[in-house]
Amino acid sequence: MEAAGVTHLGAELRSSFAPNRALIIGGGLGGLFTALQLAPHPVTVITGGRLGETGSSPLAQGGIAAAMGETDTVEAHTADTIRAGDGLVDEAMAGMLAREAPARIVELLDLGVPFDKDLEGRLLLSREAAHSARRVVKVEGDMAGAVIMQALTRAVQAADHITVIEDAWAEDLVVHKGRVVGAAVSRRLEDGSRRREVHIAVAVVMATGGAGGLYEVTTNPAGATGSGLAMAAKAGAVIADAEFVQFHPTAILTDADPAPLATEALRGEGAKLIDATGRRFMSEIHQDAELAPRDIVARAVFDKAHAGGAFLDCREAIGARFEEEFPRVYNYCQEAGIDPVRQPIPVAPAAHYHMGGVLTDANGRTTLNGLWACGEVASTGVHGANRLASNSLLEAVVFGARIARDVGLHMDTMVVHVSRKKLRKVLERKAGKAADPDRVRELRRVMSRHAGVVRDGAGLCRAMRAALALGNSKSGPQLTMMATTALMISVAAWMRHESRGGHYRSDYPKADEALRQRSMLTLKQARKIAAAATGSANPDCEESR
């Protein structure tokens, strides 16, 4: 039996109404938390794999930041968030994030998340990079994401108001008379074939995650390729801060894809970064040494990795406690033939988090009527140029709750009508095929070399050219969406003639106070800028030809 508001070419094609139903695209923390908070309103959740097992959320190790300690304050959490964001954080949004964090932790506890506690029942709190206090709540050491998602999955499965559609990928937003009214979805059927469906809803929430898969080395799982950002951009949404990609400094150096992560909490417990000679180097670069903001540590590790190697030394600080306190990282090391109790762990930066995304307000509303965005796909303003550690899961639940309240207030009065002609036009497009792996590898190579940890104008020209070419090719929706997000990142990076946070340009190595403002672009603007920048009339791009 089909969920309400769904149609396909095999069904009777008629005008479609979807009263009282929300559509959430994405089954990670942001998507599931929003769905649960929307009760009792009916919700459909589209997820690319099995419920609770896809996306970046199950892989998260560190935890969730919240001022829950006796000596910690909301004001200190806010200040740390603003400081890490290197001048571009929306301070009102950061304050709201920190204020609402403790209540969201309590709600997660009520949903059955077993956060680590001491013998007296108090939450155990860890300290991570750029935090002034211990304020990160954890689960089973470094298993936060997986265990949180297990608890939310159980809650979703028990919720009568939520319908989950697994093994389905959104390919387009459906826009009717200037309003987002649903999504075209490629759904895997029992016989292995795919069918294109249209899901109509009074509210659409984009919760599709990040874009780490645009890079050769990433901690993100397969599927984190910026598809949600691309769909929103194609529909006309404003994209903010796209140039700011966070590279986690301590991915374990193996051939695995995605790259396994050595959590920030290891450095919070005293682990040191050393070079190939065994010499500690972060203490010479920043006053906070290994706990400096991620962008600073990532560039330092990047330099050392290209000059003989960089290593995370946990032997003295953690030693024999490693397996018990950090079981996931310990297993990653064992699989790579590394004994972290006795050996330093070889590390390198990996694309980890996209600070940019679809521009939203405090309630997750985008610039498109009918569309909200939650989690990594959104740009709420709380991260600025560099995200504070363990604020990502927090952002997902804080804004998920706010989106649910906002949508819930209006669902009973919102009614969407889509004509039969509009439905047929969307449905007659074929469900997309898998992207050509050779072209995907080429795009990832170009983005890593030219829009990665260190950038310059000539390299960004190459990235823009590649993104334009792939975006204009008949390569199917998956590769086109990847190219679209790559274009938004490279154009925004090309336009920012300074270095700030996660965006570092070797040709503009200093921050420029005159450029201390968020970037905002539509896809139409980005294409126009890229075409002009890479054209033969621009001498600045000549050397990149």
User: Which positions are annotated as active-site residues?
Assistant: 294
The answer to whether residues 350 and 218 touch, using CB atoms and an 8 Å cutoff, is yes
- State which amino acid sits at residue 430: K
Whether residue 40 is preceded by a cis peptide bond, meaning omega within 30 degrees of 0, is: yes
Q: What span, in angstroms and rounded, lies between the C-alpha atoms of 186 and 204? A: 17
Q: What span, in angstroms and rounded, lies between the C-alpha atoms of 185 and 429? A: 11
DSSP-assigned states of every residue in 1-25: -PPTTEEETTSPP--EE-TT-EEEE
DSSP-assigned states of every residue in 149-194: HHHHHHHHHT-TTEEEE-SEEEEEEEEETTEEEEEEEEEE-TTS-E
- State which amino acid sits at residue 61: Q
User: Residues 6 or more apart from 293 whose CB is under 8 A from it?
Assistant: 84, 86, 129, 130, 386, 388, 501
Instruction: Look up residue 16 and give its two tokens.
Output: 């479609």
Q: What span, in angstroms and rounded, lies between the C-alpha atoms of 357 and 343? A: 39
Residue where the block lists tokens 């309240």: 405
Q: What span, in angstroms and rounded, lies between the C-alpha atoms of 329 and 138? A: 14
Q: What span, in angstroms and rounded, lies between the C-alpha atoms of 36 and 470? A: 38
User: Residues 6 or more apart from 331 whose CB is under 8 A from it?
Assistant: none
Pairing state of beta strands 22-25 and 203-206?
parallel
Long-range contacts of residues 473-478, Cβ cutoff 8 Å, at least 24 apart: 475/435, 475/436, 475/439, 476/432, 476/433, 476/434, 476/435, 476/436, 477/171, 477/172, 477/432, 478/225, 478/227, 478/432, 478/433, 478/434, 478/435
Q: Select from 513, 248, 261, 286 the least CA-distant residue to 387.
A: 248
- State which amino acid sits at residue 167: D
The answer to whether residues 161 and 39 touch, using CB atoms and an 8 Å cutoff, is yes
Q: What span, in angstroms and rounded, lies between the C-alpha atoms of 187 and 204? A: 18
- State which amino acid sits at residue 9: L
- State which amino acid sits at residue 367: T
Pairing state of beta strands 136-137 and 16-17?
unpaired
